[in-house]
Structures are given as C-alpha cells and as structure tokens.
C-alpha cells in the first residue's frame, strides 16, 4: 500500500476482553454504569468512533463467543465495523505445546498476538472494563494518524494518566509509574499499595518492599497503548523466545509492557508518552462502582457524553 493509502487508513481499536467471562460470570453481570444501562465498554467504543477509529476488534475466548456477540458485539452493529479474534491456550507458534496442567492463557501479549490475522493497520489497545475517557481516544487517534515507523526504528505510544486521576478512595491500587525523557518512555516502575496515607502524602511500595512517597502528578500506564502494525510481528518474535525460556512453567505470562520495554532497550523502538487530561475510572473494589457511576454522570452533565449513547 502506498503512503497516501496508509495515511487514509483509519486505525483499529483492539479490546482485551478474553478475561471477561471469568470475571463477570459468563457476561451475565456486565455492570451497567450509565443512566440507560450503558456499560464501560459502550463509552470506549463511542469515544473511539468519534475519535476516528474505523474498526473495533474484540479479543475474546471461543467458549463465550455467542453470548459475547449477542450481549456486547450487537450493541455496535451499524455504528462501526466489528471483528473478533480468539485467545486460545493452544494457539502457539509451531513447535510449542501446552504443558500438562496449564489452564491459564499466556498474558496480554499472547492475547494481542491472537489478532495477527485481522489487524493490518495502526491500532490502539485497551482493557474491556476500564473507562479511559474521551481525551485519551482523541490523543491516540492523533498519534496514529501522524506517526510512521522508520526502517530501523518503530514508533509506538502509550496514554499516560496523572497518578492522581487513577487513585481509588476505597483502597490502595497498583500502578506502573513511568520514567520519561524528552517525551519518550524510558522505564516503568511498578508500585503496589498506592494510597494517600493518614498524613495526606501519597505513598506506595516499590518491588523491593520499600514504602516511598510518589508524586501524584507522575504519569502512569493504564494499559492503553498505540502501535503501528509492526508490533504484531515483534510480539511473535518475543513470544516465541518467551516460550523457549518459560513455556513449561504452569503460570508464566507474557505482557505487552515487557515487549515494549525490550524493544526500547534494544533501540528497535521508542514509545511516546501521550499525557491525557482524562480521569481513568475503574472498579478495583466493589465500593468503587458509585464513584464510576457518578464520574460518568458528571461527564454527561458537562456535555462530554449524551444522556443516552447512540
């Protein structure tokens, strides 16, 4: 395809939804958050459509294909092109097999790899059950419309949220805090048990177990990535090597950030951190639901969303 054709190609949104069956009891309890029964995913697809995405691909499991298509996919018929990819435990590169006793899939990189036959254009990746906000999708679409890989280096992106916009009032959270140089991601440091302590200072435990203050304005990753199509090929290479090293382990997982980090350290890619003004909303705790409902209501009152999604 020529450069002009590539520029006109609308990006695709990949939605990581293979875990929904286990978390939501076969999807029957998809939690309504909007005033007319809308679920979080409805808002993500609504935001993606108005940001200029041309297709949504749901990465799901075969065992709940029909119920997902009926309860979720059908919501978007006629509004955006919808396709599906299937994460399967035994969908592995040639020469590899599932070790005896393993039941869990191989992580988010493996899930993304499942879409290799249906995605050939620039794409964004989101979790199915996180509310990312309108600005995040606008940032993603602008980046994907403008960026092109170089022969020796790929250019990827990640939506970065100020930590304060992702905290819960109902308990601590785990976040990957980004180190950034010249607008590019250099590292992500995982912190757990992040919350405002009694003295009002936000602290978290690093992986060494040390409890340290963290700046609420630091940017964190909420697993909203934007990639050129080359990333699918990079996953294949990384995942094959991952299986060679860890394929016989019962619970090993291969994650998208690990692939990105390796490519950055190799100099094979860079990753722009796209700061969003949006607040991330999610149900980390059952008691978080009222805050998500109230957050969506506030955005409706501000005119960001209509009272009823089209």
Q: Is this structure's pTM higher than 0.85?
A: yes
- At 269, the pLDDT band (50, 70, 90 cuts) reads very high
Supply the pLDDT for residue 8.
60
pLDDT in tens, 110-158: 999 999 999 999 999 999 989 999 999 999 999 999 989 999 999 999 9
Supply the pLDDT for residue 27.
55
- pLDDT above 50 (res 87): yes
Q: Give SS3 for 252.
A: coil
How many other CB atoms are found less than 10 A from the CB of residue 281?
Answer: 24
- pLDDT above 60 (res 4): no
- pLDDT above 50 (res 59): yes
- pLDDT above 60 (res 1): no
- pLDDT above 80 (res 6): no
- pLDDT above 70 (res 26): no
Report residue 225 as tokens: 């990535």
- At 100, the pLDDT band (50, 70, 90 cuts) reads confident
- pLDDT above 50 (res 40): yes
What number is the average pLDDT over the span 229-256? 90
What number is the average pLDDT over the span 145-173? 92
Specify whether the CB–CB gap between 216 and 202 falls below 8 A: yes
- pLDDT above 90 (res 63): no
- pLDDT above 90 (res 29): no
Measured distance CA(224)–CA(251) in Å, rounded: 24
Run of H or E including 174: strand 173-181
Supply the pLDDT for residue 21.
53
- pLDDT above 60 (res 23): no
Measured distance CA(31)–CA(28) in Å, rounded: 9
- pLDDT above 60 (res 254): yes
The most confident of 70-74, 247-251, 273-277, by mean pLDDT: 273-277
Measured distance CA(246)–CA(181) in Å, rounded: 32
What number is the average pLDDT over the span 7-22? 80
What number is the average pLDDT over the span 87-108? 88
Supply the pLDDT for residue 111.
94
Supply the pLDDT for residue 203.
96
β-pairing, 55-60 with 154-162?
unpaired
Supply the pLDDT for residue 260.
93
- Cα-Cα end-to-end distance for the chain: 34
Phi/psi zone of residue 182: left (φ > 0), alpha (ψ -120 to 50 degrees), beta?
left
What number is the average pLDDT over the span 50-75? 91
Supply the pLDDT for residue 9.
82
Average pLDDT over all residues of the chain: 89
What number is the average pLDDT over the span 257-284? 92
């Amino acid at each position: 395809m020529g450069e002009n054709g590539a520029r006109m190609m609308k990006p695709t949104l990949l939605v990581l939804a293979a875990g929904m069956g286990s978390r939501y009891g076969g999807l029957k309890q998809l939690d309504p958050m909007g005033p007319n029964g809308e679920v979080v995913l409805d808002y993500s697809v609504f935001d993606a459509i108005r940001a200029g995405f041309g297709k949504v691909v749901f990465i799901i499991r075969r065992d709940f294909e029909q119920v997902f298509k009926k309860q979720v996919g059908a919501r978007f018929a006629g509004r955006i092109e919808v396709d599906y990819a299937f994460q399967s435990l035994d969908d592995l590169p040639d020469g590899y097999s599932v070790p005896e006793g393993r039941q869990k899939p191989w992580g988010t990189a493996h899930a993304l790899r499942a879409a290799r036959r249906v995605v050939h254009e620039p794409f964004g990746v989101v979790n199915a059950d996180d509310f990312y906000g309108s600005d995040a999708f606008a940032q993603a679409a602008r980046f994907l419309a403008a960026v092109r890989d170089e022969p020796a280096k790929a250019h990827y992106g990640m939506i970065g949220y100020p930590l304060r916009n992702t905290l819960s009032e109902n308990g601590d959270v785990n976040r990957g805090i980004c180190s950034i140089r010249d607008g590019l991601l250099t590292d992500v440091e995982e912190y757990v048990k992040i919350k405002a302590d009694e003295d009002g200072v936000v602290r978290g435990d690093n992986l060494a177990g040390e409890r340290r203050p963290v700046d609420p304005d630091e940017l964190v990753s909420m697993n909203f990535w934007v990639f050129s199509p080359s990333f699918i090929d990079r996953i294949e290479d990384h995942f094959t090597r991952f299986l060679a090293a860890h394929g016989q382990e019962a619970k090993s997982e291969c994650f998208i950030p690990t692939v990105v980090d390796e490519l950055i350290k190799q100099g094979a890619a860079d990753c722009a951190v796209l700061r969003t003004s949006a607040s991330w909303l999610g149900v980390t705790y059952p008691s978080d639901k009222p805050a998500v409902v109230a957050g969506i209501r506030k955005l409706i009152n501000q005119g960001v969303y209509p009272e009823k999604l089209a």
